[in-house]
Every structure is written in structure tokens, then in C-alpha cells.
Amino acid sequence: MSELKRQSPVQFKVSPRKTEVRDNWTVALEYDEEGQGPWLVDLAHKIRWDLQDSRVGEQRPCDLEVPAAPGSCTFANDTLVNRMNRTQTSIYHLGAVAPALPDFAGYTDVTESTVFLALFGPKAFIIAEKLSALDFLDPAKQSPFLYQGPFCHVPCQIVTLEKAADGSGGFLLTCSRGYGDSLIHAILEAGSALGLLPAGENRFSAWIQGLQG
């Protein structure tokens, strides 16, 4: 009988040096050559929820506040809560483990639905500018903030977690799972001249721990 194995929607051409099997996902922890950044990390195994309710602002996912304004985010305890519109919020669990889905009809686990990537490090937004017309470095916006718009011409949710005027910082990106391979190809191609390389979960975890103090 076949082995139970989950497949990420994206595949890098290089194999990781260190992996860990978690809930049948093979999680890449480190790669032999990750360079000095920027880095691209596959986070397909991280749990994502969709929350919909006519009074979504009154919900408290993981005891966190749902921001009032669409495009705003709450980030604490390895959890990111992104207000999408009047009735809808996306929730990303960025830590090693995620809580069980709350027993409320408005929650749906959408982990399987999307590609989930992190692109961060020096010149991360120089790469993003090649692939999207969205203004990630808008001085009027304070991270974290959510964009819902095209990246590589694909409708995406993009959360900027950190940004600096020199184009460094980083963001998370989700889009429909079926775009995985094309998206990875486009991002790596756009970032090749800037030293973009795949990196493992360890580097991502270190980055977000630094952001949360």
C-alpha cells in the first residue's frame, strides 16, 4: 500500500539538507546553500483559516483582535489576522503548531487551498516590484498590512511584515494552489540576479521571532 505523503503545491529544484516530517508534510528546515538573502520559503504546511461573519469584527481568533479596517493586520503569538473586507478575515498560523479549528460555523481551514510563501531579506521588495504594480513601500502604510491584488498577474493575498526604504524586509504571499509551480518559477527568475535562493523553515522562524521581539 502507498505511503501517506502530502505534496506541497511548489517544488524547488534543490533538495533540502535537513527535513522534518510533520503531519505527513516533509518540511524543509535548511538548505545547503541559502546565501545571504533574499530568501524564498515554502510554507504550504502552515495552517491557514478563513473566517466569515456579518459581525466578523466581534470575533477573537486565538484571542486576537480582528482589525477594524480592511487591509489592516494583527500580528502576535505567531498568528497573523488579516482583515480582508466587511465580513471576511484570513488567519495565518506561523508557528510550529496551530490550535484546533474553533467550533464556530464561520471558520474554514483553507490550508489546502493555497500556495503559501515567504519572501524576505535584503532587496526582497526590489524583486516584488518586478512582479507586481502594488506599492509595498508606500510610506503611508505601516507593516503589517494586507494587499489583495495581482502578483505575477495572479490574484494574491500579500502581507507585508517588515519593510525598509532600501527595499529590504519581507512579506507573505498566498494564491490559489494551482499557480504554485508557475509562481515559483517567476519569482526565482526575477530574483536570480539579486541572489534569491530557497531557504528552510528555520530561517523563516528566526525572522518572524525577530519581528515579534
Partner 1 sequence: MCNDDGCVIDDGVVVKLGENDYYFTTSSGRAGQTVEWIRYHTRFDGWDFSLVNLTDAMGVINISGPNAAKVLAKVVDVDLSSNAFPFSGYQEFFIKDTIFVRAMRLGFVGELSYELHVPSSYTQSVWDMLKAAGAEFGIRNFGVEAQNVLRMEKCHVILGSESEQRTNLLDLGLGFLWDRNKADAKTVGAVALRQAEKDVGRLKLVGIRMEDDNRPARDGALIVDNKVRGYVATMRKSFSTGQAVGMALVESQLADIGTRLEIFEDECNGVRLYARVVAMPFYDIKGERMKR
Among residues 26 and 72, whose Cβ is nearest to partner 1? Answer: 26
Among residues 24 and 192, whose Cβ is nearest to partner 1? Answer: 24
What is the nearest approach in angstroms of partner 1 to the Cβ of residue 74?
20
Among residues 25 and 145, whose Cβ is nearest to partner 1? Answer: 25
Choose among 160, 162, 170: nearest CA to 191. Answer: 170
What is the nearest approach in angstroms of partner 1 to the Cβ of residue 71?
20
Do 72 and 141 contact (CB within 8 A), yes or no?
no
Give the interface with partner 1 as residue ranges (CB under 8 A).
Answer: 1-9, 24-25, 44, 50, 52-54, 105-106, 108, 110-114, 176-178
Choose among 57, 167, 82, 76: nearest CA to 120. Answer: 167
Instruction: Give Dmax (Cα) for the chain.
Output: 56
Among residues 100 and 206, whose Cβ is nearest to partner 1? Answer: 100
What is the nearest approach in angstroms of partner 1 to the Cβ of residue 183?
13
What is the nearest approach in angstroms of partner 1 to the Cβ of residue 85?
11
111: three-class secondary structure by DSSP = helix
What is the nearest approach in angstroms of partner 1 to the Cβ of residue 154?
12
Choose among 112, 82, 91, 119: nearest CA to 204. Answer: 119
Q: Alpha-carbon distance 60 to 10, whole Å?
A: 32
Among residues 110 and 190, whose Cβ is nearest to partner 1? Answer: 110
- Give backbone dihedrals phi and psi of 208, rounded to 5 degrees, phi first: -75, -25
